[in-house]
Amino acid sequence: MRRDPSRGFTLFELMAAVAIVGILAVVGFVAYRKIINSSRLTEANGMLTSMKTQEERYLAETGSYLDISPKLVTGANAGTSGDNGSTVYPHCALAAPGPPGPKVGRVAWGALCPSACCNNDWKKLNVESHGPVAFGYSLIAPPIAPSTFLLPGGVTIKPPSPLPDQWFIASAVYDSDPNNVFVTAILTSFDNEMRVDSEGE
């Protein structure tokens, strides 16, 4: 049976076309988000690598790593009320700290670090940024005692036993779509391996 060309499309045909377009849009959006998160991680990778280099220089000059942050902030604790941007640099230097993400935006690196946010000033470590940063950073070293900590995706990072006399752990956190699920990047002196968890982002 031939179809009458003046009839147009049936409701079923229109619904099928809308469903296909919807599926393609979802797949495209997920791929787009992965590309955006990957590009943001370039900043975190560069800054954490710079922190490692400067910590090694500081160790060679003084015999110890520099402890800067009062605690290590990971994606698991970055969005809690007690950590709402108040312990990650440079966000903690703002007049009204907030968690790293689009609501706060990019923040200039190099501001004086308030004592509530830092045990030592970041300028002492001599880490530089060529512009404002999106991620918030924390860095711990002795005398803080490291504990096993969990990244949001279930990745556990456990310090070696026995613990070396000198060590450091640096973290970068960012919430790309303010839902308290943070992209987290961690670099430690234990194995010099960068770990990234962007589960849920």
Give a yes or no: residue 166 inside a domain. Answer: yes
- Which of the given ranges, 16-25, 73-82, 118-127, 189-198, has the highest pLDDT on average? 16-25
Give a yes or no: residue 75 inside a domain. Answer: yes
Beta bridge partners of 156: 150
Give a yes or no: residue 1 inside a domain. Answer: no
**Domains contained in the chain, number:** 1
| Strands 149-150, 156-157: pairing kind | antiparallel
How many other C-beta atoms lie within 10 A of the C-beta of residue 141? 23
How many other C-beta atoms lie within 10 A of the C-beta of residue 88? 25
Query: What is the pLDDT at residue 97?
Result: 72
Give a yes or no: residue 6 inside a domain. Answer: no
Query: What is the pLDDT at residue 66?
Result: 93
Give a yes or no: residue 97 inside a domain. Answer: yes
What is the rounded CA–CA span in Å between residue 77 and residue 79?
Answer: 6
107 is in which domain, residue-wise?
Answer: 11-197
* Statement: the pTM of the whole predicted model exceeds 0.95: no
Beta bridge partners of 185: 172, 196
